[in-house]
Structure 1
Amino acid sequence: MRLSPTEEAAHATRDDEPASAKWRDFALWCAIPVIIVVLLRVFVFGMYVIPSRSMEDTIMPGDRVVTTKLASHIQKLQRGDIVVFKDPANWLANEPNANSSFLIKRLIGLPGDTVACKGPGYPVTINGVAIHEESYLKPGVEPSSFAFQEHVTAGHLFVMGDNRANSADSRYHQNDGDEGLVPVNDVVGVAFLRYWPLNRIGWLSAHHDVFARVPEPANE
């Protein structure tokens, strides 16, 4: 088929395009996705390697998780969220496997809540209502092996590991400056996906339904 003069001119222009320009365009189209991924990684998503057993069997040592970085700023934190936070009061000092300054636990108490447990054989209560944690607690582990009660002050959170038998969480740090509580501003993300190892890839559930019957604090 014979090309029209206009089509012949356009075809000739494309053929005459310098190789350097073609490589520039190719590099640009390759760079754009990379830049987008880097920006998402820096500002929206975080990736962490789990070193300890404190969140078994939900998260195992060596698992790698993805978090949202916008959690405490845009996204409203909820009871049950799996939160990554900065070490609030040197909690990691006695952790032999600690290789970063971040911890990961499940958010149990929000500001204004009173979190308590009477000890072995009893459930954790929040604002006087028992929560049933079988859906995420490590099988065979008590909700708490000792009694405690903590009022969560403004701007703070009460956190616990899913493996309560091996989790130095808010219960164990009640003599520090914040009485074992985590400042909301120290939360750097909410974990929502396990991406490694390949045979354990999957979404991480917050189990918000466990906390559905918990009333709001009386003073809130």
Structure 2
Amino acid sequence: MTDKKRQLPVWQESILLVLTAMVMAVIVKTFFLQAFYIPSESMEPTMLVDDKILVQKVSYWGGDVQRGDIVVFDDPGGWLGAEDSRHATNGLQKVLEKVGLFPTGGHLIKRVIGVGGDTVACCTDGKLTVNGVKLDEPYLLDESATKDRTFEVKVRDGYLWVMGDNRGNSSDSRAHLGDPGGGQVSEKAVVGKAWFRVWPLNRAGFIHKPAAFKAINDK
């Protein structure tokens, strides 16, 4: 007769299962998906305050950020306000935040308007232009708020020009034109692309890129 395999006690198996689950969660957070919440009104009406979203990272493994994507990114320096910097407040939340199971704060979320090599200008007939093509942006809360500041910028290679959908209440690239970085965000600062809204349930679903940028992408 062969000896039976020695089994771990139940309590040891339970600890092993929990540790394995946490390691897997950290791997998923690092390379695939991460939970975030919407901290401010800057992306209304597309994203509302306290919406909970999943950000996927797979699309950007090759650094292929595209116009029209809604991206979560690290603070380029001095962009974060107090409402954007909220983090988990108790021990359990902090543990869950570390493994990606509690929505993370301390980041920004905006829509990519221009990528490296693009010329973004405001405004022609009240509309943004990218490489001379006027954008029709039906996702904006108030399109007239776009033209509150005129500019023309050439986006550097490896950088992005980002703006909120709530143009009248968004501290985005326009507000940081005078910064050392000229309001441009390095692609290296991008955490991932907004992919799926998980909360509230009545608005849960995939987050799609609008058709507004198709003509530019096809040039």
TM-score by length of 1: 0.78
State the identity %. 37
Residue of structure 2 equivalent to 1:199: 202
Corresponding letter in the other structure for 1:127: N
Q: What is the distance in 2 between the residues matched to 1:179 and 1:216?
A: 27
Out of 57, 60, 83, which is 2:71 matched to? Answer: 83
CA contact (8 A) 1:45 1:69 kept: yes
Deviation at 1:69, TM superposition (A): 2.8
**What does 1:146-185 align with in structure 2 at a 5 Å threshold?**
146-185=149-188
Deviation per CA, 1:138-183: give whole Å up to 9, x if none.
1565333222111101111000001101011111111111100001
- Structure 1 position 114 matched with structure 2 position 119: yes
Residue of structure 1 equivalent to 2:215: 213
Residue of structure 2 equivalent to 1:59: 47
- Structure 1 position 102 matched with structure 2 position 113: no
CA contact (8 A) 1:152 1:158 kept: yes
**More displaced, 82-91 or 32-41?**
32-41
Larger Rg: 1
Deviation at 1:28, TM superposition (A): 9.4
**Secondary structure, counterpart of 1:97 in structure 2:** helix
Q: What is the distance in 2 between the residues matched to 1:117 and 1:140?
A: 12
Deviation at 1:46, TM superposition (A): 1.4
Q: Which runs of 5+ in 2 are unaligned?
A: 86-104
- Structure 1 position 124 matched with structure 2 position 123: no
Provide the aligned C-alpha RMSD in A. 2.9
- Structure 1 position 144 matched with structure 2 position 147: yes
Deviation at 1:200, TM superposition (A): 2.1
Residue of structure 1 equivalent to 2:57: 69
Deviation at 1:50, TM superposition (A): 1.1
**Secondary structure, counterpart of 1:47 in structure 2:** strand
Q: What is the distance in 1 between the residues matched to 2:38 and 2:55?
A: 12
Runs of 4+ in 1 over 4 A off after TM superposition: 20-35
